[in-house]
């Protein structure tokens, strides 16, 4: 397939706002691809590189050779060139990468050059998001979209899923299974402004679980080997020896757990989020004693137990109403007497993704001691749930997650089975641009332009600006980081690749003609940056509109 065909498809998808039209255009392009090209075509149309990073920054793309007159570049040729560029290292590597880049761009037409520049710069936003692309793969391969979504959940990448769908149809897709050692996308929680709203959405007895201000972690255990992954599927095992040691003590042959990592003070209250994040970062400060991280597990996705032991004789503590001394802040862990249809999951090994939440938790409680489990209760009483919420917040945590007892584990999606409740309005937004400061902030990038994701277009909707809440340390850090993400700038504003996620607190949403979405945040302020989240996990414009009523401002 020629890159020109992908370029034409990208333009067609960007030129329409309708989901069906996007799916149709993408599916047509995928049908025309050779079987071995499918994974690369899916990646390019999704705005991604199969190689992820090849060492080409925006500065390298400012000077490119004159374009070719006619299209001739093929998908395999571009993929091979990117692989070669990414493999360059050592003395003279910068010059060699530019030489290879120039050779590639010299064979591209003007429109192909524009497409490749935006692809490499991370600016290819035409609305081919995961959900849309999954539907396109299903349409092109003539398989049910539910089969594609499940395979994607288990594999974590649409490229291999597309190749399997085109090669072997439904049978190929069903060949993907949860594998210990291969991370899957985590299940996400929707939001509600209050406990009453959360219970109103679920309409039944539910688990109410503390929500910690930590780092999401997926822990894979196989024999004596432990591997820990972040929510972005990056492995961080080598940075967490204390977590690995704790997980090796669990009585399992193999397991996949979902949980949270957090740094706690001696009084069991949390350190600032930055302390936790620093332990999982690629680089840590030299000559400093690392703050130990605690791990709290709240779900199990796969479990292979050595063998069943009679109840009460296995030495593992059952869920009780007693104080959990090792829990964050000494929280309570209660479990109701609910009887799940189907009873206990079979011991001996199995995938628990489709099991009900109550069944998964029963399995978790069998193999994980209470001091390593997230504090929670099961109740049908919103007032009792509010007590748990108040206790969690009083001990310095974010709030609670209200969880359906019947919901399966819907990996990679923000389903209706989990609903988070926080004591204040917060959103995870993406930095679109930033303005230079003045006065005391002269020479620092200060005023952030904030955007929410638009699932229909694949772009971002600006919701306002803020410079409030930024400490001197944050100002210095964001100045360095945002300069690295810069794509263009003028005397006042630096426009950046939309990759950096920041958590914003705000007091409400108001109508505003100043911004394309017609709404703006009131009194927005920065809480923290979220390097553990990708832009694809940022909140959507629909979430912004739903989280609090939009008001006219100023009020009458």
Arithmetic mean of pLDDT, 541-556: 63
Instruction: Check residue 509 and give its pLDDT.
Output: 82
Does any domain span residue 545? yes
Task: Reply yes or no on whether the pLDDT at 412 is more than 90.
Answer: no
Within 245-345, strands assigned E span: 254-262, 294-304
Same domain, 430 and 386: no
Q: How confident is the model at residue 555 (pLDDT cuts 50, 70, 90)?
A: very low
Token pair 């003539």 in the structure block, residue: 142
Task: Reply yes or no on whether the pLDDT at 90 is more than 80.
Answer: yes
Same domain, 154 and 192: no
pLDDT in tens, 370-405: 999 999 999 999 999 999 999 999 998 989 999 999
Same domain, 164 and 273: no
Q: What is the CATH number of the domain that holds 279?
A: 3.30.470.30
Same domain, 228 and 92: no
Collapsing DSSP to helix, strand or coil, 456 comes out as: coil
Does any domain span residue 183? no
Does any domain span residue 110? yes
Tally helices (H) and strands (E) across the chain: 16, 20
Distance between terminal CA atoms of the chain? 60
Same domain, 301 and 158: no
pLDDT in tens, 297-313: 999 999 999 875 555 44
Arithmetic mean of pLDDT, 68-73: 94
Phi, psi of 361 (to 5 degrees): -70, -35
Closest CA to 359 of 407, 327, 393: 407
Within 154-251, strands assigned E span: 188-191, 206-211, 215-222, 225-229
Does any domain span residue 181? no
Task: Reply yes or no on whether the pLDDT at 514 is more than 50.
Answer: yes
Q: Which of 211, 420, 465, 533 is catalytic?
A: 211
Q: How confident is the model at residue 446 (pLDDT cuts 50, 70, 90)?
A: very high
As to burial, measured by CB atoms within 10 angstroms (0-12 exposed, 13-18 middle, 19+ buried), residue 267 is exposed
Q: How confident is the model at residue 47 (pLDDT cuts 50, 70, 90)?
A: confident
Residue 533 among the catalytic residues: no
> Where a domain ends, among 395, 421, 447?
421
Instruction: Tell me which of 5 and 59 has the higher pLDDT.
Output: 5
CB–CB of 303/345 below 8 Å? yes
DSSP string covering 20-35 = HHHHHHHHHHHHHS-G
Q: How confident is the model at residue 263 (pLDDT cuts 50, 70, 90)?
A: very high
Same domain, 294 and 194: yes
Instruction: Tell me which of 537 and 255 has the higher pLDDT.
Output: 255
Instruction: Check residue 457 and give its pLDDT.
Output: 79
Task: Reply yes or no on whether the pLDDT at 282 is more than 80.
Answer: no
Same domain, 249 and 302: yes
Does any domain span residue 180? no
Arithmetic mean of pLDDT, 103-122: 90
Instruction: Check residue 260 and give its pLDDT.
Output: 97
Same domain, 361 and 442: no
- Among the residue ranges 178-192, 270-284, 398-412, 534-548, the one predicted with the least confidence is 270-284
Instruction: Check residue 317 and give its pLDDT.
Output: 38
Mean pLDDT of the chain: 86
Instruction: Check residue 333 and give its pLDDT.
Output: 52
> Where a domain ends, among 387, 421, 455?
421
Instruction: Tell me which of 55 and 448 has the higher pLDDT.
Output: 448
Instruction: Check residue 128 and give its pLDDT.
Output: 56
Instruction: Tell me which of 315 and 139 has the higher pLDDT.
Output: 139
Q: How confident is the model at residue 279 (pLDDT cuts 50, 70, 90)?
A: confident
Task: Reply yes or no on whether the pLDDT at 15 is more than 70.
Answer: yes
Q: What is the CATH number of the domain that holds 148?
A: 1.10.3260.10
Task: Reply yes or no on whether the pLDDT at 224 is more than 50.
Answer: yes
Q: How confident is the model at residue 545 (pLDDT cuts 50, 70, 90)?
A: confident
Task: Reply yes or no on whether the pLDDT at 251 is more than 60.
Answer: yes
Does any domain span residue 182? no
Same domain, 416 and 302: yes
Q: How confident is the model at residue 466 (pLDDT cuts 50, 70, 90)?
A: very high
Helices (H), 239-296: 241-248, 273-280
Domain count, the chain: 3
Task: Reply yes or no on whether the pLDDT at 268 is more than 60.
Answer: yes
Same domain, 446 and 382: no
- Among the residue ranges 191-205, 326-340, 452-466, 479-493, the one predicted with the least confidence is 326-340
Does any domain span residue 116? yes
CB–CB of 451/463 below 8 Å? yes
Does any domain span residue 178? no
CB neighbour burial string for 159-194, b if at least 16 within 10 angstroms, e if fewer: bbbbbbbbeeebebbeebebebebbbbbbbbbbbee
Same domain, 201 and 56: no
> Where a domain ends, among 173, 205, 225?
173
Task: Reply yes or no on whether the pLDDT at 328 is more than 80.
Answer: no
Segments forming the whole domain that contains residue 120: 3-173
Same domain, 86 and 120: yes
Segment of 18-22, 345-349, 406-410, 455-459 carrying the highest mean pLDDT? 406-410
Q: What is the CATH number of the domain that holds 477?
A: 2.40.50.140
């Amino acid at each position: 397939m020629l890159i020109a065909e992908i370029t034409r498809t990208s333009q067609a998808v960007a030129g329409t706002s309708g989901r069906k039209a996007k799916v149709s255009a993408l599916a047509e392009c995928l049908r025309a691809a050779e079987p071995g090209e499918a994974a690369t075509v899916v990646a390019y149309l999704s705005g991604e590189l199969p190689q992820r990073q090849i060492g080409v920054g925006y500065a390298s793309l400012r000077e490119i050779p004159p374009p070719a007159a006619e299209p001739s570049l093929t998908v395999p040729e571009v993929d091979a060139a990117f692989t070669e560029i990414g493999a360059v290292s050592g003395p003279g590597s910068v010059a060699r990468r530019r030489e290879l880049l120039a050779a590639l761009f010299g064979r591209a037409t003007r429109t192909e050059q524009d497409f490749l520049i935006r692809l490499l710069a991370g600016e290819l936003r035409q609305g081919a998001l995961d959900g849309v692309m999954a539907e396109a793969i299903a349409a092109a391969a003539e398989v049910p979209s539910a089969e594609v979504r499940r395979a994607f959940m288990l594999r974590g990448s649409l490229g291999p899923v597309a190749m399997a769908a085109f090669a072997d149809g439904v049978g190929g897709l069903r060949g993907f299974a949860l594998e210990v050692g291969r991370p899957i996308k985590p299940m996400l929680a929707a939001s509600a402004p209050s406990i009453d709203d959360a219970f109103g959405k679920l309409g039944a007895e539910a688990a109410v679980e503390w929500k910690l201000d930590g780092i999401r972690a997926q822990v894979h255990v196989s024999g004596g080997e432990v591997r820990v992954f972040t929510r972005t599927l990056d492995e961080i095992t080598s940075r967490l020896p204390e977590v690995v040691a704790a997980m090796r003590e669990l009585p399992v042959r193999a397991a996949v757990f979902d949980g949270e990592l957090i740094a706690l003070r001696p009084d069991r209250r949390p350190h600032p989020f930055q302390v936790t994040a620093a332990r999982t970062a690629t680089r840590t400060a030299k000559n400093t004693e690392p703050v130990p991280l605690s791990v709290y597990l709240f779900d199990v996705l796969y479990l292979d137990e050595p063998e069943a032991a009679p109840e009460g004789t296995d030495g593992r503590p059952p869920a009780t109403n007693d104080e959990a001394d090792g829990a964050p802040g000494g929280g309570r862990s209660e479990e109701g007497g609910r009887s799940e249809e189907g009873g206990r999951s079979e011991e001996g090994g199995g995938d628990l993704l489709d099991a009900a939440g109550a069944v998964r938790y029963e399995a978790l409680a069998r193999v994980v001691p209470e001091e390593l489990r997230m504090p929670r209760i099961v109740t049908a009483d919103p007032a009792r749930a509010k007590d748990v919420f108040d206790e969690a917040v009083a001990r310095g945590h974010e709030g609670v997650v209200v969880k359906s007892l019947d919901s399966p584990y819907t990996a990679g999606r923000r389903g209706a089975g989990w609903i988070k409740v926080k004591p204040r309005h917060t959103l995870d937004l993406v930095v679109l641009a930033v303005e230079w400061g003045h006065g005391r902030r002269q020479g620092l990038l200060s005023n952030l332009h904030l955007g929410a994701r638009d699932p229909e277009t694949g772009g971002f909707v600006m919701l306002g600006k803020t410079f409030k809440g930024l400490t001197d340390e944050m100002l210095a850090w964001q100045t360095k980081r945002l300069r690295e993400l810069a794509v263009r700038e003028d005397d006042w504003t630096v426009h950046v690749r939309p990759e950096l996620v920041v958590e914003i607190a705000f007091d409400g949403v108001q109508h505003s003609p100043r911004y394309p979405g017609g709404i703006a945040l009131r009194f927005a302020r920065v809480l923290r940056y979220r390097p553990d989240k990708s832009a694809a996990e940022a909140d959507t414009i629909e979430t912004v509109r739903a989280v609090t009523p939009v008001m006219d401002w100023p009020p009458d």
